[in-house]
Structure 1
Amino acid sequence: MTTEKFYEQLLGVRLPWKIKTVDLSIIDERVDVYVEFQGKAQCPKCDKEASIHDYASSRSWRHLDSCHMKTFLHCRLPRTKCDRCKVKTLAPSWSVASSRFTLMFESFVIKVLLATKCDTQTAKILKLTQKEVLRIKNNAVDRGLKRRGELEAPEVLAIDEKSYGQGQKYITVLVDHDNDKVVELRPDRTEKEVAKLLQSYTEAERQKVESITMDMWSAFKTTSEKYLENALIIHDRYHIASHMGKALETTRRVEQNSLKEDEKKSLKGMRFCLLRSIDNRTEKDFTKLVGFESGNLDTARVFMMKEMLRELYESPLTAMEAQIYFTSWIALAREQSIAGLTRVAKTIENHLEGICNYFHKRLTNAIAETKNGFIQELKTRARGFMNWRRYRINILFHFGKLDLDPQ
């Protein structure tokens, strides 16, 4: 078998394309494969038989390494001429228009990117520049979004915010709860940007959404009410738990600073014991908590209210029953006259309907929070994203479940 025949099989070059010569440079660790066109041509636009007008300037495409050496294809692409479409450049079978890489090489780069989740590391492994890696990634996402076409709305959506860059900069992420994927994201969390996000679906598709989970950011709620008319708005229970945890920790710190030295012993070493969920408590934690709830400390009363809230969420209540219990909890929390607890009571009261909607389907925003964790990992590997567009491309590339393959 000749070297040319070997590389024809290795590279998948088929008629009317034919390998003319192969140059091997051991010193440069490089293989250059020269391809020429042989046979009849068809117009790339209308597919009718056409004459060859002339040949374009020589172009090069990076291919997968062969024999541990960089491999490049070179070819002067023929330009066809037909009566209808005039002069058009014939596309090669091994690449897509305007690309400087073969389909097989682009496919391999995408697989490495998905594995490493880092442009720099991928560029180093494949001996590419970061700009070349970024170009392949951008093209893959553009291709995936075109293939995705018009979106079909799921029954359940989730929406959340994520910081990026320096200062108070946020993106808003829309997650398909049913299919566990990021649908789209926008560069802010204003009502205008959230509206654009929800309009990723047509009006008819938006009618199919039955529920949307979110935190208590007003723009999320207001815009969802406007654009998702049939959707049940559910405020995440873990967001409430977070507010309660902050109130407990604030109360403990304030009280510990105000107590006398001999009284501080009752709060010593209690921080994580009080904040842990019941499933994560150790035997030592339970020992510390014996008799603590019945104490006269403000911290003990806030802890008691936190536990009541947890038990309320875990009870098999209907949404209507939950509303009655939450109303009682709010009244009891206010009676304690503890600043942090009063703030939580006010927050729950202001968002009572969305909080109680949890009891219809017991849905949380955990899927969006999980995606946020993965996005944070991506952000850490990249040492941050100052550019919103690059941030969007990376998130859709890794978590959009797009069809990225160029072939």
Structure 2
Amino acid sequence: MPIDRIQPCPICHSEQVKRNGTPYKRCVRHLSMGVSHTYLLLQAIALECQNCGANFVWQYDFVAPKKRYTIAFQNQCLQKGHGTTVKSLARFEEAPYTTVERFFKVGIQIESEATQQTCFQDAMDRQGLVLGIDDFAIRKGHTYNTGIHDLKGGSMLDIISGRKKEDLHTYAEAHPFLHVLNPVAVVMDMSFTYHQVIGSWFPRAIRIVDRFHVNRYVTEALQDVRRDVQKGLPPHARKKLKRNHRLLAKRGDELSDKELATVQTIIHYHPTLAQAYEWKEAFIEWYDLSTNAKQAAITLQKWYKQGHAIQHQASEECLKTLKNWEKEIVNYHRLRYTNAVVEGRHNKIKALQRRHYFTRNPNVYHQRILVECNEDYMNQYMEI
């Protein structure tokens, strides 16, 4: 029940208002208390303005007019909707699905716009901005999106529909504020399209090939050598090598004593495999131990010679690719940033897609990704 006797007129803001009684009570759903639902019984007090003659009902700040759910309940639906489905949330709250869905869609749109605006403003104000560009699959092998990330700030700025050159240029034309960003570096994979487009967008930024993608090329070359070698091994050796092939891709300093003993056994089944494994480990050391770009460029030439000494087609093809991107690979030692956090967001996006059996509404899909991927960033931003 309101404490005040009257409420100012919402039209003329006059306080010359009189009561005309309470014709009914409103039953409004509020936040739950434990497992019990809470309902507020609000008096619908009829009021009449003596100044302008308007008739209105008492308005409450915590619930909109003619609504049966408080604003706090609507906000709770949005917060609880992160990491779950609307169907599960509606079942948990014992509320109609369409009602919860409406609250969630309205809330996610407002929150995504505020989140994106905050992230972009923070990126524009940042000194030494470093961007990360990478694609993720909607339908693997068919449809992809491209994410733009602020690696230094730890936020996801936006999502581009597609990964082709025309898709990127269409996005840039529709979002001119993209050119306001002034990154010192951009991290991406070895996609010629990305490097060409980013070179036109940010000509002053150095382009860095992501360490994860480069390591994957070397690891795949090692696995190709392993597949070729194991064909000529005795059955017991071939079986053991195939069973433990994942250990070859693992960093040597992260292996347990038992795993290390297994690796030492299987790589000595063939001298070419041992050479390829040492070559792979030497590349990891090159990334970890190079102190600057100049030294890295010199020691990389020694690593090339080590790879040529293997004399295998897989290592030669790998070296050919890496030589084409040598400048961008060495740039990692100018500014040590990777897209590791981006790959983590991709896992979160995949989980979201599996949880919802994908989202048919592209706008809601876009908004959910921006909100859920920036949840930790926004929590830290609000604390600051």
TM-score (norm 2): 0.76
- Deviation, 1:162, is 1.5
The question of whether the paired residues in 1 share the 8 Å contact of 2:75 and 2:107 is answered with: no
Note closer, same or farther for the CA distance 1:214–1:77 as it changes in structure 2 (3 Å cut): farther
Matches within 5 A, 1:263-278: 264=238, 267=241, 269-278=243-252
CA offsets, 1:139-190, max 9 Å, x none? Answer: 2232234445472224122222211246522121222223322221122112
Distance 2:137 2:215 in 1: 21
Question: Aligned match of 1:286 in 254, 257, 260?
Answer: 260
Distance 1:299 1:234 in 2: 30
- Deviation, 1:340, is 2.2
Match of 2:131, SS state, is strand
CA offsets, 1:5-38, max 9 Å, x none? Answer: xxx4xxxx6768xxxxxxxxxxxxxxxxxxxxx6
Residue of structure 2 equivalent to 1:141 = 108
Distance 2:146 2:46 in 1: 45
The question of whether the paired residues in 1 share the 8 Å contact of 2:7 and 2:15 is answered with: no
Distance 2:257 2:209 in 1: 33
CA offsets, 1:210-249, max 9 Å, x none? Answer: 2222222223222222222332222111111122222222
The question of whether the paired residues in 1 share the 8 Å contact of 2:229 and 2:270 is answered with: no
The question of whether the paired residues in 2 share the 8 Å contact of 1:206 and 1:227 is answered with: no
Question: Aligned match of 1:250 in 212, 224, 231?
Answer: 224
- Deviation, 1:281, is 0.9
Residue of structure 2 equivalent to 1:104 = 72
Question: Aligned match of 1:341 in 286, 307, 315?
Answer: 315
Distance 1:105 1:234 in 2: 46
The question of whether the paired residues in 2 share the 8 Å contact of 1:138 and 1:393 is answered with: no
Question: Aligned match of 2:181 in 206, 222, 225?
Answer: 206
Match of 2:337, SS state, is coil
Greater strand share, 1 or 2?
Answer: 1
What amino acid is the match of 2:130? V
Question: Aligned match of 1:311 in 261, 281, 285?
Answer: 285
Match of 2:79, SS state, is helix
Note closer, same or farther for the CA distance 1:395–1:99 as it changes in structure 2 (3 Å cut): farther
- Deviation, 1:123, is 1.6
Count of aligned pairs between the two proteins: 359
Residue of structure 1 equivalent to 2:338 = 364
Note closer, same or farther for the CA distance 1:97–1:334 as it changes in structure 2 (3 Å cut): farther
Match of 1:361, SS state, is coil
Question: Aligned match of 1:117 in 84, 88, 97?
Answer: 84
- Deviation, 1:296, is 4.8
The question of whether the paired residues in 2 share the 8 Å contact of 1:187 and 1:388 is answered with: no
Identical residues among aligned pairs (%): 19
The question of whether the paired residues in 2 share the 8 Å contact of 1:60 and 1:73 is answered with: yes
Note closer, same or farther for the CA distance 1:79–1:347 as it changes in structure 2 (3 Å cut): farther
The question of whether the paired residues in 2 share the 8 Å contact of 1:161 and 1:172 is answered with: yes
The question of whether the paired residues in 2 share the 8 Å contact of 1:77 and 1:92 is answered with: no
Distance 1:284 1:78 in 2: 81
Distance 2:48 2:145 in 1: 46
Aligned CA RMSD, in angstroms, stands at 4.1
Greater helix share, 1 or 2?
Answer: 2
The question of whether the paired residues in 1 share the 8 Å contact of 2:144 and 2:161 is answered with: yes
Structure 2, unpaired ranges of 5+: 18-24
- Deviation, 1:292, is 6.6
